[in-house]
Amino acid sequence: MIGYTTLGTNDLPRAAAFYDELFAVLDIKRIMDFGRGYAWGTGMDKPGFGVMTPFDGQPASVGNGVMVALVVNSKDKVDAVHAKALALGGKDEGAVGYRGDGFYAGYFRDLDGNKLNVFCVGQ
């Protein structure tokens, strides 16, 4: 159902560098350049992820209760993405581990304070 998700940034070069390195862990590359933002993904027919400066020209802000969840296919990838996010300067919002039956996840905030989760199920 999800086509793509976009998060706001106030420092596009910094955000782009963060996500280039973070998504490299999953072999995901940039697929679009909007001038005021970028998108990463594995193809235009697959869900994608974008970072942009806000269209209205106002500062980007973090939504209270907003979180983007990234699904991967193994605990090792959850561990690697979470660790990479923290190594790149992201903030820990919940260490990797099981939360419920077969749901393995780690939570972090990017350099703009946006909350993300990386998870797998049944691993």
Tokens found for residue 41 = 């993904």
AA letter at 75: K
The mean per-residue pLDDT over the stretch 31-57 comes to 95
Read off the pLDDT band of 114 (50, 70, 90).
Answer: very high
**Cα 58 to Cα 84: distance, rounded to the nearest angstrom:** 30
pLDDT at 104: 97
* Residue ranges of E strands in 1-123: 4-8, 29-33, 37-41, 48-52, 68-71, 91-98, 103-109, 115-121
**pLDDT at residue 75 is higher than 90:** yes
Domains for the chain: give ranges and CATH numbers: 4-54+66-121 (3.10.180.10)
| Better-scored residue on pLDDT, 1 or 105 | 105
